[in-house]
Structures are given as structure tokens and as C-alpha cells.
Amino acid sequence: MPIGRSRSSDRVINYWPGFVDALSTLLLVFVFLLSVFVLAQFFLSQEITGKENVLNRLTAQIRQLSEVLALERANTGSLEEQIASLRANLRGAESERDKLRGAGGGTDVKALASELEAERQLSTQQVSQIALLNQQIAALRRQLSAIEGALEVSEKRERESQAKITDLGQRLNVALAQRVQELQRYRSEFFGRLRQILGNRPEIRIVGDRFVFQSEVFFDRGSAALRAEARPELDKLAAALLDLEKQIPSDIPWVLRVDGHTDTRPIATAQFPSNWELSAARAISVVQYLVSRGLKPDRLVAAGFGEHQPLDTGTTDEAFSRNRRIELKLTER
């Protein structure tokens, strides 16, 4: 179809694809936010799992130390009972010795004195053991105190980590919202510039947030080779994009997506076995030309949709013509 030819039906703006694209953009943003939230939850769960493992080990150590302490206390009680018994025996032996001394029994006195000395030595050893046990108990208490301190520090760090993760998520949401708003502003400026450059032409339409070119503007029927008449239009597009590239900050991940679409009539040639190959080859031809005009390849995306996203579901020549198109959309990477 020639460039200058106009059709009255082409002037009818179909808002439905733009509405769908807007919903798609919102859905992508929502999915990205959800991914960030899931990632933050994953790191948080990993840190919490590590803290729980440390807490479980410390709890097991405390339980073991408690058992040792209980055992030592039981031993201490038993030793104290033995000491009390020995002291009672010692007092009885001393009393018996005094009685024997009063009665004048020298040999028995010597025997009782030996027994008394042996009891005193045994008592001294047990007292030393008790002192040693008391030292061990004091050491266990110090260990318990240190463990409780470590637990408090661990809980404090966990609370601080949770607060940092929450703050990071909030700041990330704010930054993402700002980036989306900035990209929308540049998209609006870009489309306004293109509208001025390309003018009011029936074969070039604005549908939602994208420019729609009829395929006949760029290609002959069943071909993916750019027509000579298409190059001036693409030069205007490349100039607008190069100017926009200088304005958009480098940290905004924008790309220009070039979408190729065909009508529903099948194609089966050696070069294009299906409409998929034809639509993708046309999008790639546009992208390659824009690259040749100085655009960066990482700012361009070529996509082929075949006949699967028609603007008009009719089967007339007019409907087929509307569906054969190239769409340009400024979006996020």
C-alpha cells in the first residue's frame, strides 16, 4: 500500500491494546516487586535459620551443663553427709579417747589416736574435694552467664537485621516507583516528539502506549527486506531515539521493543516456513537498520508475534491489512 493512501477505518483508535499493555506493565512491576519481596524473605529465612541453629546448640549446651550441675550438687550433698558422719564419728572417737585416758588404757588410747588421725586425714581430703566442686560449680555458673549474654546479643542482631530488611524493602519500593514514573515521562516525551516528526498519517497510528506502522510502510508483501521508501521514516525514528538516549539517565533500564505482526493467512516459503519467521525477520530488519544509524544494540529488542495478536479479528482485506504491522514500544528491560 503506498504511504500517502489513507483509509477512514485506520483513523479509528482502538484503545484496547493500550489498556492491555498498561495492565501488562503494571503486572510486570508487581511481579518484580513480588520477586524482590520473595528474595528479601529468602535471605531473612536463611539468617533466621542460622540463628535458630546457634540457639539450638546453645540450648543443648545449657541442658548438658544443667545436668552436670545437678549431678555435682548431688555429689556435694553426699559428700557433705559423709563429712557430717565423719565429724560425728570423730567427736565420738574423741569422747571415747578421753574416757580411755581417764581410765588409764595406754594401748587403746594409741589405737584410738591412730584412728582419729586417719579420720582427720580423710576429712581433709573430702573438704578439698568439696572446695574443688565449688570451684567447678562457680565456673559452670560463669559459662551459663556467658551463654545467656551471647543469646541476648544474637536476639538483638536478629531484630536489627529484620529492621534493616524492612527498611531496604521500603526504599527499594520507593526507588522502583520513581524509576517507573521517570520512564513514563520519557516515554510521553518520546511519543510526542515522534508525533511531531511523523505527522498525522493514516498508515501510522498511536495505539495506547505504542506507535503502530502498517507493514506496507516498510516491507513488500511476504518480504522482510526494507523498502527504500521506509528508510527516511526510520531515519526520523532513529534521530528521535538518539536524542532521547542522551536525556534518559543511564541507570534507567529502558529499551525500544520492535514487534512484528502478520495477518492470519498462512505462509510457507523456503525463507519463511511460517508467520513466526516472517514477523520476527521484519522486526529484526527494523532493529538492524536502527543499529546502523547509531543506536546501541542493548537498547533494542526484536520480537515476532506472527498472527497471534490481531487488532482486527475479521477476515476482510481491510482486517488483514490492519493486522500486518510493526509496533514500537518504549518499555523497561
Please check whether residue 116 is in contact with residue 97, taking contact to mean a CB–CB distance below 8 angstroms. Answer: yes
The pairing of beta strand 204-207 with beta strand 300-304: unpaired
CATH of domain 201-332: 3.30.1330.60
Nearest to 262, CA basis, from 310, 316, 302: 310
**188 has pLDDT over 50:** yes
pLDDT tens, 49-97? 777 777 787 778 777 777 776 777 777 777 677 777 777 877 776 777 6
C-alpha to C-alpha distance for 61 and 140, rounded to whole angstroms: 11
C-alpha to C-alpha distance for 227 and 282, rounded to whole angstroms: 11
**pLDDT confidence of residue 292:** 95
**pLDDT confidence of residue 195:** 57
Set of cell numbers at residue 46 = 536463611
Chain centre to alpha carbon of residue 61: 34
**202 has pLDDT over 70:** no
Which of the four pLDDT bands, split at 50, 70 and 90, describes residue 289? very high
C-alpha to C-alpha distance for 314 and 332, rounded to whole angstroms: 32
Q: Degrees (nearest 5) of the Cα angle 130, 135, 141?
A: 125
Two domains, one topology: 40-178 and 201-332: no
Please check whether residue 51 is in contact with residue 158, taking contact to mean a CB–CB distance below 8 angstroms. Answer: yes
Percent of the chain with pLDDT over 90: 22
Sign of the C-alpha dihedral computed for residues 53, 57, 63 and 69 taken in this order: negative
Q: Poorest-confidence range of 19-23, 132-136, 290-294?
A: 19-23
Q: Domain spans of the chain?
A: 40-178, 201-332
More confident residue, 104 or 59: 59
Please check whether residue 234 is in contact with residue 290, taking contact to mean a CB–CB distance below 8 angstroms. Answer: yes
CATH of domain 40-178: 1.10.287
C-alpha to C-alpha distance for 215 and 322, rounded to whole angstroms: 9
The mean pLDDT value of the chain amounts to 77
Q: How many CB atoms lie within 10 A of CB 235?
A: 14
Q: Poorest-confidence range of 73-87, 180-194, 288-302?
A: 180-194
More confident residue, 293 or 160: 293
pLDDT tens, 237-256? 888 888 878 877 777 778 88
pTM score of the predicted model: 0.45
C-alpha to C-alpha distance for 106 and 117, rounded to whole angstroms: 16
More confident residue, 73 or 317: 317
Nearest to 129, CA basis, from 85, 65, 76: 76
Q: Phi first, then psi: what are they for 266, rounded to 5°?
A: -70, 155
pLDDT tens, 121-153? 777 777 777 777 778 788 878 887 788 788 778
